[in-house]
Chain A
Amino acid sequence: MRRYLARKILIYALTFVAAVSINWLIPRLMPGDPVRTMLGRGSAGDPETMQQMRDYYESVFGLDEPAWQQYINFWTSLFQGDLGISVWLFPRPVSEILLAAVPYTLALLLPSILLSWIAGNRFGAFAARSKWLDNTVLPLGYILTATPYMWLGILLAWGLGVVAGWFPTAGAYGFGTIPGWNWTFIWDLFLHWFLPFASLFLVAFGGWAIGMRNLIIYELEAEYSTYLEALGAPRKLVRRYAFRNAVLPQMTGLAVQLGTIVAGALLTEIVFGYPGLGNLILQALNNRDFFLLQGAFLFIVIGVLIANFIVDVIYVLVDPRTRTQMQGSAA
């Protein structure tokens, strides 16, 4: 177990270094000049003043140093928890901007991923043994999972927001609401959260349900199930075994999903004007804000690595075969 973990940690650490380096490199390879974008907004008419401002800001951002020095500086300040200053939202520190946005993204992502996984698996398993559900509700799952997040988001916003008027369609809480620890505010927060959450949840839910339904059918037709049934085991027991086997690939899927759903959250946040990471990433990209982009991606990379690591560990705990393999290799 220890060797297994040590090896995993080493692999994760290497992935981290590579990811951070690529993360540092990519924005610098993109066309565009962040300082010029920033100064363009200031629009000082006079070319000399412009040049002076330009030199000055380049030194503020450390962009006047050679690339290798910038790379070293990047790692040094990273370990000090300093992600630099945003160009687009000058002069705010990147870490502060990210910290303000991350709670909103997490509040959308974690519940939608976990709840859709739990509900999707339950529902899929249930559908697998009911002809009626299988024929009526599962096609809906196909439609849901094929729907782009953004499209579903727009439909929900128009249907339940503008037309029905049940939910607000933009912002994290009412634009005239004063934040505070009271029920009115929390309810308001919940109402604004619900539609973006629902659009993420529904799409993911469809995918999990279909996956689980197929897996369960496969497991129920496997030889061990037929054998158990032949032995006269109760149906419930057979189903429980099938479920336990079918849930394993779904867990791997969960780890993968944690990585890809960030893209979904990005679009959803834009549709609902939700002030999370997704909105920030898009804007940072448009404004050539290297530092903010790096910070946001760094957060995602760390998130995905941690999530995968946790799933790796859980896998060892729930799947006895991984344990045997490990012992085998250790011996």
Chain B
Amino acid sequence: MGNRLRWLSAALVVGLAAAGCTGGGDGSGGGNGYPREETLYTTGTQWGPPSTWNPIMSGSYTTGVVGYIYEPLFLYDPQQQEYIPWLAESEEWIDDSTYEVSLREGVTWSDGEAFTAEDVVFTYELAQFETVPYHNVWDYLENVEAVDEHTARFEFNDELRHQEFAYYTYSNPIVPEHLWRDRSEEQVTTGANEDPVGTGPYLYEDHSEDRQIYAKNEDWWATDALDLEVQPNYVVDIVNSSNDVTNRLLDQGDVDVSNNFLPGVDQKIQNNPNISSYYDEPPYMLSANTAWLVPNTTREPLDDPAFRKALAASIDIQKIIDGPYSNLVQAADPSGLLPVWEDYIDQELVDEHGFSYDPGEAESLLADAGYEDTDGDGMVETPDGDPVELTLMVPSGWTDWMEAARIISENAQAVGINLVEEFPDQAAMEDQRNAGEFDLVINNERQISNTPWTYYDYMFQLPVQEQQTTVNFARYENEEAWELTKELAQTPVEDKQAMQDTISEIQRIQLEEMPIIPLWYNGLWSQYNTQTWTNFPTSADDTPHHLPTTWRNYAQLGSVLMLTELEPAGG
């Protein structure tokens, strides 16, 4: 048997080695690995093996493709609320419908070709393919052309949606015309783009099923132009498999930045000197999006604003924050606007119409609107005498949301609203949500951005379709609110006063009608192990304040700048 064993283990090792080698690693890291002190290990974005490096596929490209490899014209810093010129050096509105960007000189693609205005023109023209996600820019874009090598001019029709266009200038990366011009629609929208060539601070190095590796681009334009240099020579992004795995890697110092929601991480931040986060006290994390309680406004009694307001007043948000979230999140403002949009919150309106946890108030709101317990079962009936039986669905396995749903239904029952929680699996829940076959769900699909318009678009978009796949899950129909939202979309981003005025009008409708109920601000989950790298973004004055995340579509929000500020812990 001894021989047999030896033979087996030899075969095993060969088999494993063959499997490992198919990644095709001819890396230039030297020795047998990437030196620990030159490498940043991240995790928290990629939930499966990397499969596409196509920056046009904005929801599925592998971590870092935009930000590390491909870059947009501008970055947007949501905390300072400013656009940071990136591939564009400056912008100018020549008149109401003509916009010019001046591009940086001396920027090259990683294959050595120069980056020019033709690349910008080409990238926008790509969106004429109907299956490109930002195709709707051509609803209001008439023409885009290169004025000279470093100037691109955009001409718009009078449907111009300023807020949306500004969003595209930072969220969509520019791709090289010389490599992409011959690609078919299918290649553009479904190709894997396995050999990505960009302008960014890193180059594609290697990948395998559970990781993604980048090597520093020594010729990055920003080093000369902006005196910026990314510090890690290598970035290794690890594919998430579970919270447990991430927890162990973080504890062992094998991961430097984890952007996962790790329940109980507050204990670690307090007790382990190597683990830290943005704030050193609750809520520990910045806020990334608002979690909403979404009622189906086409169903009785959720179609009644008074009932929705009573439901809102019944919810003890603090109990959710103290309980399932152990203070890792903050209660949302009644307007639902994120802290970075504080300026747009109309405080007077909120004071007048806002809601807070007040079971007594909830009960009297119900009574005033005619909801009474007529059959004596302790739960209210509708004014017509029909029983109220509501279900709150959250995906099974989302433990924090499941706990929150339990608390919400308990709270509602305490004021006489018969609400029970239900945990279908995620896909089933999404099916029902999109088709409008639900009473209540929790949702947080819109992220922090350059404008609250993205939130109002999410709340009020009309017309309501048979399937609501991304917005207005509440199926709330209010022409006035949607008109105001469109008006906001067309307000120039520089005109803060006009934005504020329109937003106030929207807020009045929102607070009076309560189409969806803001619950809490979901965190920008981020925890660092500082054994190898230091100077991560924190709220302290002497550290940077960039968004500390590797999440997709966040590099454009300035999070890529985090990498330029890191310092080796050793020296």
Contacts and interface: CB of A to CB of B under 8 A. Distances in A.
Interface stretch (A12-20, A49-57, A322-330): A49-57
Interface string B237-253: 01101101100110110
Nearest to B57: A42
Contacts of A97: 49
Given A47-B470, A162-B248, A175-B211, 14 more contacts: A31-B428, A31-B431, A46-B139, A47-B461, A89-B48, A90-B190, A111-B9, A162-B251, A171-B238, A172-B19, A172-B20, A271-B242, A286-B427, A288-B427
A170 B51 contact: no
A180 to B, nearest CB: 6
Contact of A49 (B18, B19, B136): B136
Interface in B438-492: 445, 454, 457, 461, 465, 467, 469-471
Interface in B19-73: 19-23, 25, 27, 29, 32-36, 39, 41, 47-49, 51-52, 57-60
A179 B465 contact: no
Nearest to A157: B248
Interface in A22-63: 30-33, 36-50, 52-53, 56-57, 60
Nearest to B458: A45
Contact of A286 (B12, B139, B426): B426
A68 to B, nearest CB: 23
A184 B17 CA distance: 11
Contacts of A39: 59, 469
Interface string A145-179: 00000000010011001100100111111111111
A184 B249 CA distance: 21
A80 interface: no
A133 interface: no
Nearest to B255: A175
For the residues of A in contact with B, the DSSP-based class is: helix
A176 B36 contact: yes
A90 B51 contact: yes
B106 interface: no
Contacts of B323: none
Interface residues of A, number: 81
B32 A30 contact: no
Interface stretch (B127-135, B292-300, B330-338, B343-351): B127-135
16 contacts: A31-B425, A31-B428, A33-B430, A39-B469, A43-B59, A43-B133, A43-B445, A45-B457, A91-B190, A101-B209, A170-B241, A176-B41, A179-B21, A186-B17, A275-B210, A275-B239
Contacts of B252: 162, 165, 169
A92 interface: yes
A-B residue pairs, 4 tightest by C-beta: A32-B427, A41-B59, A103-B19, A89-B51
B192 interface: yes
A297 interface: no
A283 B32 contact: no
Contact of B470 (A40, A114, A157): A40
Interface string A269-285: 01111010001000100
A41 B60 contact: yes
Contacts of B13: 186, 189-190
Nearest to B432: A31
B16 interface: yes
A283 to B, nearest CB: 5
Contacts of B164: 45
B43 to A, nearest CB: 9
B248 A103 contact: no
B5 interface: yes
B427 A185 contact: no
A193 B242 CA distance: 18
Nearest to B248: A169
A180 B32 contact: yes
A48 B19 contact: no
A222 interface: no
Contacts of B36: 176
A126 B462 CA distance: 76
A106 B60 CA distance: 29
A100 interface: yes
Contacts of A103: 15-16, 18-19
A243 interface: no
Contact of A115 (B8, B57, B234): B8
Interface in A62-108: 86, 88-92, 97, 100-101, 103-104, 106-107
B129 to A, nearest CB: 9
Nearest to A275: B209
Contacts of A271: 242, 244-245
B242 to A, nearest CB: 6
Contact of A275 (B47, B49, B186, B248): B49
Given A42-B133, A169-B252, A179-B208, A32 B428 contact: yes
Nearest to B467: A36
A182 interface: yes
Contact of A46 (B58, B135, B239, B431): B135
A89 to B, nearest CB: 4
Contact of A170 (B8, B59, B249, B434): B249
A44 B133 contact: yes
Contact of B242 (A45, A173, A273): A273
